[in-house]
Structure 1
Amino acid sequence: MYGQQPYPMGSHSSPMPPATSQSSGGGGSTSFDSNVLGLLRNMEREDLQKLNDQTIETLISDDTDLNKLQEVKLTESATNRSLAEHNLSQQSRIEQGRRALISAHKEAADLGRHHRELTSRLSGGQQGESLETLHSLLQSACLEAEEKSDSILDQFQSKRMSLPEFINKYTEARALYHTRRAKTDKVTEISNQRIVQASSAYRTTNMPPAMPPVGPFGPPPVPPQHAAMPPYYYPPNYYGAPLKFEFLIPLRVLSSSATKNQAQVIRCHGDKKREDKSRSNGGTFAAVTASVAMATVARKRKKYQGAKYLRQLKNLTGTAVCCRQLLAAASKSSQRLNAFSGPSQLRVLSSSVTKENQAQVNRCHGDKERQEKSGSNGGTFAAVAATAASVAMATVAVNKDTNNEEKDTPGNAANLPSVTLEEVAKHNSLQTGVWVIYQNTVYDVTNFVDSHPGGEKILLAAGKDVEPFWDLYAVHKSPHVLSILAEYAIARLTAADALELQRRKASEQSDDGGKFANEPKRSPLLVPINKRPYNAMSPPEILMDHYYTPNAIHFVRNHLPVPKLPEDANSHRVKLDLKDPTNEEKVNRSLNVTVEQLRNDFPRVSYDVTLACAGNRRNEMAQWRQARGLEWRQTAVSNARWTGAPLHLVLKKLFGLDLDKARKLGYRHVQFEGMDGDSITGDFYGASVPVEVALDESRGLLLAYEMNGEAIPADHGYPLRVIVPGAIGARSVKWLCRIALSRQESSSFWQRRDYKTFQPSLYTPTVEDFVQAPAQLYWPVVSAICWPPDGHVIRDGYGADEDEVVQIRGYAFSGAGAGVVRVEVTTDDGNTWQLAQWCNLDDAPDDVDDSLHQPFGQRWAWRLWEATVPAPKPGQSVTIACKAVDDNGNQQPERWSSVWNARGLLGNAWHRVTVKRGQ
């Protein structure tokens, strides 16, 4: 059984990531067994004797190097009773350990003579062979699963798999892996029990006397998986494991914060290429030390469990430092350090070394290329140093209660080491690494910078707490963003620094009154989806009761905190600039205009305009595939009568500009800037529209100062807002303070890096994708059902009338001034349709039921509709869908698959709701 195990059977028998497949891979097992048996035969004939001679000669010649190990402190906790009973001096431990290892190598040669007989007795006949085969099959399946898991990760990184699909598959793979691992451990347990029983009988009749216990830790408790080995075969408890020569692999010591396997503190793994190189280039001693470290960890894990042991081992920090110094000294010897040429070959980690290097010490990321290079050469001293370092650090790392292990999830606070604010602050650039803090957890987002939609703006938070930035850009707090962030977690702030961070936040808020000190009172009828900045939907139950949405329940979309507003609206000034078409930074002409001038010097014009957030109905789109942004339902839309001065007349009177002249001067865009700014970056919310839109009278752009006959409320742009009819709400800039004509579109983040759509096949747009895509301006045709809500249960007298029909009410609108000519409703998934009727509301214009109540091309207001459909029978349900058609013949698509985009914008697939009839 020993000769057929790829890893020691036990808690470290299969250290690999989760799998995605449940196949056992029987064919791979047969090949694997034959390889191991072949290796064993070679060992019996030549390798053991050769290895024995080389190792003894190497150990004797490297006496000087071994003496350096005396500097390594291997003092364990005072509560370690075994250590207290055998409190030997440091030099004695090293010397006895060296003698024990030499003795073990000498006696290992005897393994060949006893191995056949031992294997026969321990296998227990056919039953033992079955266990052996089953264990090999399970391990083969785990190897296959690891390759599949890596394949999933490669597909995601190469953008061949969407983030939601990746998360689902990888989560499933992890669960499947743990299921397989449990089966493997069960087989291991049964096999170990049989080994112990066979070993007891075998020793009694066949084995020579056991070697007297030597080593600093006293008599060795025999690991169950090795209990059957001859007593003279395994070294004393100082090493705690038999010398396994068939797997000569490089040693890696990983901290609990390693990205892919945080819970696995110590991991010894190798791939076939590195194993082959290691076999041929003097990696023997490294393999022995790997086995030594792993066995020591296994023994300590069994003997000491839980947080209590972690506290007991804190005094080993000095050992870790000493190990680091020893390894640094070893690096000076190039002839003996070929096997240790890269830091990824072995990283010695501590949970609390110094403030300066603490975070790096607690983190281990491997580099495959360096591992492959470093794994190909020998290096006795590096391996010896690795032994001491790995044993010491493995002991420190084993602090988990094995009966209550934390889930191995990225960002799990219980798995992360501690780090100080001072250390985080040093990682504030691409050169030093980009670390950020969120809710006391530290994340290394260096590799995410290039993919960040905001580009290098993310560097503004480097080395700092990211929460103040996210308070302004609340889209980051959505679940899918947090799930991505969790993959980059590396540490937690210390308790003292977490308190200090909270104190700083409180101090900042008290100094400036808080970024959200100017927030107005809001109606409790609004349906908030984010409170800072405030974003809320209109209540669907009453939205359809008003043609003009009351100001109090008009949906609210704030990208940033409400700015400090002037008490007197008339005195508010707007700056108008004519930029140099050849130099964006230069202004050729500038002047100011007040709201009072706009009221008195320009015609007073009113338009009925429906505004809708571009992310309206994103939550439905996200149910088909995850989309980024606030999860608006179908009521991020409202209608109002806006009153103000026509923009084209203002520019013509003040600058003498009309569309033709503006084009000749080289102007292509009109930029708008609001007072709502980011106090951290100094940027202000902004947008722009082409001059063909801004200076065309038929497009109806207004500098509005009234909403539904009243001063504009604070949440909706008081004292002045530009209204761009038919466009997405993001282009109607609130709290307007600047207008500029330019050759370039607005440089605002929301113009250039947001509010853009992409093809459905593009799951994760890059910064370059955003730069190249055109800014979205107008809405397509849209309709939605506001009553009844999805999942509603109707009952007689409430939702279904005496004739057993269901009353349906909703809205419809289209962009760019196109009017809606009809709305159709279906209850059989589009096989048959019925026309909806237009609603006649008391507050609506007299001709609102006429599709021509606004001039052609200026139909910017919604149309409210209603319909009746047969109610389902008691206890049954029906799905109702609607679609609208505009006067250009455009109609809504049936499925989300054709309109899905990564930002979740312009959701206009058929709207569906399911209602059920009560019993």
Structure 2
Amino acid sequence: MPQSHRSTSATPPSPHRPDRRGFLQSGLAVAGATWAASGAYGWQPGEADTGLIIHSGEPMNAEPQLRELVKSWVTPISQFYIRSHAPVPRVDLNTYRLSIEGMVDRPLQLSLQQLKTRFGSHSIFATMTCAGNRRSEHSAVKEVSGVQWQSGAIGNANWGGPRLSDVLKAAGVQAGAKHVWFEGLDEVQRDEGVIPFGASVPIEKVMNDSATAPGVLLAHEMNNAQLSPDHGYPLRTVVPGYIGARSVKWLGKVIVSDQPSDNYYLAKAYKLVTESTTKEQAAAAAPLYEYVMNAVTCAPEPGAATAPGAVEVRGYALPPGRPGAMLRQVEVSADNGTTWTQASLHSPRQLYCWQLWSARVRVTPQTTHLLVRATDSDGNAQPQQVDWNLKGYMFNAWHKTPIQVNG
């Protein structure tokens, strides 16, 4: 059963090894929390309750209550969803080095301090969302495996760190390079053995980097605080516009290649497949990169009771992850889509970021649910329904919130 996210202290294990009790600590990942700048980081004694809905404790997978998501355009660290495929690894900053290798003229081994000193820090706002956000709605049609996310596997943050493009320029990217691989320091237990979580992105996503279209950030800060263990301390990639699986936490290696990564989580997972998909078709299927447009009602909560009349409805909307895409409008219906009320978009309109919205909608005793849909800047509308897929990825049908109108 979902529970509050609580933390207690524990004895640190050896560096670079997964902490199987680490999930007990992650409640301390709150705004303003800090860890030692040298030596192996450690969680401070104490206890914190962030109210997250916990889907699994080890590895930690948790999401906030929807009502928390609409309180701020920038999601507090304590309310940011946590997605992990393995326990949090321990990292000793005295020995930590980011390896830059593969198709580069000058392979690099960089400490966190060297990254900061040589390449400076840049700040970007970007929304992170899991490809499995709203997976539980897929399962309502037909059960799918994986974390049964509700609608809270999403958050918007201010990320800080060097641009990966600057680091690769210093390393000297060789002709013919087409992809950039990322490998984490975590250790994922799979039937075939222990592997790191990994990903890759097309090299254009990294190198075509500008203030208006950020590429990939090597983030060591989140909301102006040092990354917490749950969110990738000491370093992670942030890939604006892409599903969260491409933003690798606890980053250990960056590999430049002429091929996509052969890591399981790019080569086999995070693809749209069905029960009829053959192994050959699955192998040839394109990996998921850009996230899809989505709009969700966060208040009132499902099952809420209200009187007839005007009701304030609030939520979030995310434009699609393709370059240049923004939101045009968000609409809410209280009569199953017969009529729609246009919502007001309140928060900043920024590339690769969500917007919060609100609307005053009239409900009657005949109202059984609220619907919400978004339209992007090119006029593409959020679909009323989506095709079921085996892993429950990219669910973005009209969001439906049941309510009870009394009287």
1:599 to 94, 116, 119: 116
| Distance across 2 between alignment mates of 1:765 and 1:713 | 39
One-letter amino acid matched to 1:810: G
* 1:564 aligned to which of 90, 102, 120: 90
Name which of 833, 852, 871 aligns with 2:340: 833
Task: Give the percent of matched residue pairs that are identical in Structure 1 and Structure 2.
Answer: 34
Residue 20 of structure 2 corresponds to residue 516 of structure 1: yes
**8 Å CA contact 1:792, 1:915 repeated in 2:** yes
Deviations 1:881-903 (A, max 9, x none): 1111111222211113xx32111
Q: Does 1:688 align with 2:208?
A: no
Residue pairs, 1:54-73, within 5 angstroms:
none
Name the TM-score, length of structure 2 as normaliser: 0.84
Question: Does the CA-based 8 Å contact 1:752-1:770 persist in structure 2?
Answer: no
Instruction: State whether residues 821 and 887 of structure 1, in contact with CA within 8 Å, keep that contact through their aligned partners in structure 2.
Output: yes
Post-superposition offset of 1:629: 1.9
Deviation at 1:690, TM superposition (A): 0.7
1:907 aligned to 2:391? no
Q: Assess, with a 3 A threshold, how the Cα gap between structure 1 residues 514 and 645 changes in structure 2: closer, same or farther.
A: closer
**DSSP-derived class of the 2:352 partner:** coil
Structure with higher strand content: 2
User: Of residues 98, 102, 106 in structure 2, which corresponds to 1:578?
Assistant: 102
Q: Deviations over 1:674-694 (max 9, x none)?
A: 000136723111000011111
Q: Secondary structure at the match of 2:186?
A: strand
Q: Is the 8 A contact 1:688 1:731 kept in 2?
A: yes
Q: Cα distance, 1:751 vs. partner?
A: 0.6
Change (3 A) 1:745 1:546: same
Q: Which residue of 2 aligns with 1:528?
A: 54
CA RMSD between the two structures:
2.2
Q: More helix by proportion, 1 or 2? A: 1
Q: Aligned partners of 2:189, 2:318: CA distance in 1, in Å? A: 37
Q: Which residue of 1 aligns with 2:171?
A: 655
**2:21–2:58 Cα contact (<8 Å) kept:** no
Structure 2: distance between partners of 1:554 and 1:780: 19
User: In structure 1, what is the Cα distance between the partners aligned to 2:198 and 2:90?
Assistant: 17
Match in the other structure for 1:542: 68
- Distance in 2 (CA, whole Å) between partners of 1:526 and 1:765 is 35
Match of residue 822 from structure 1? 329
- Number of positions where the alignment pairs a residue of Structure 1 with one of Structure 2: 364
Q: Which residue of 2 aligns with 1:484?
A: none
Q: Supply the distance in 1 between the matched residues of 2:123 and 2:396 (Cα, whole angstroms).
A: 28
CA gap of 1:918–1:838, structure 2 versus 1, over 3 A, is: same
Which runs of structure 2 are paired with 1:297-308 in the superposition (5 Å)? none
Superposition deviation, residue 567 in structure 1: 5.4
Residues 900, 513 of structure 1: CA spacing in aligned structure 2 closer, same or farther, 3 A cutoff?
Answer: closer
- The equivalent of 1:813 in structure 2 is 318
Deviation at residue 792 of structure 1 after TM alignment: 1.9
Residue pairs, 1:879-898, within 5 angstroms:
879-896=369-386
Equivalent position SS for 1:703: strand
1:748 aligns with 2:263: yes
In the alignment, residue 834 of structure 1 is paired with which amino acid?
T
CA deviation digits over 1:716-756, x for unaligned, max 9?
A: 01100110001000000000010000112111111111100
**Which position in structure 2 is the counterpart of 1:793?**
305
2:233 touches 2:249 (CA, 8 Å); kept in 1? yes
Matched, 1:780 2:292: yes
- 1:766 deviates by 4.3
Q: Distance in 2 between matches of 1:902 and 1:683?
A: 23
Residue 41 of structure 2 is matched in structure 1 by: none
Deviation at 1:769, TM superposition (A): 3.0
How far 1:513 sits from its partner (Å)?
A: 10
Distance 1:541 1:623 in 2: 22
1:446-485 CA-partner distances (Å, limit 9, x unpaired): xxxxxxxxxxxxxxxxxxxxxxxxxxxxxxxxxxxxxxxx
* Offset of residue 515 of structure 1: 5.2
Distance 1:714 1:766 in 2: 38
Instruction: Give, in whole Å, the separation in 2 of the partners of 1:714 and 1:768.
Output: 38
Say if 1:892 and 1:909, in contact at 8 Å, map to a contact too: yes
TM-score by length of 1: 0.38
1:670 to 162, 180, 191: 180
Aligned to 1:638: 155
Does residue 729 (structure 1) correspond to residue 244 (structure 2)? The answer is yes
Deviation per residue, 1:570-596 (Å, 9 max, x gap): x631000024xxxxxxx9752211221
The SS at the match of 2:265 is helix
Structure 2 spans left out of the alignment, 5+ residues? 1-12, 28-48
8 Å CA contact retained: 1:781, 1:890: no
CA deviation after TM superposition for structure 1 residue 708, in Å: 0.2
Give the secondary structure class of the aligned counterpart of 2:26: coil
Give the secondary-structure state (helix, strand or coil) at the position aligned to 2:22: coil
Q: Which AA in structure 1 matches 2:142?
A: R
Q: Can you list the C-alpha shifts for 1:424-458, whole angstroms capped at 9, x where unaligned?
A: xxxxxxxxxxxxxxxxxxxxxxxxxxxxxxxxxxx
Shift of 1:793: 1.9
Change (3 A) 1:518 1:627: closer
Q: Distance in 1 between matches of 2:246 and 2:257?
A: 16
**Structure number, greater radius of gyration:** 1
Q: How big is the shift at 1:765?
A: 3.7
Q: Which residue of 2 aligns with 1:389?
A: none
Match of 1:807, SS state, is strand
Question: Contact 2:318 / 2:355 at 8 angstroms: preserved in 1?
Answer: yes
Gaps of 5+ in 1: 1-508, 580-586, 841-847
8 Å Cα contact 1:780/1:906 also seen in 2: yes
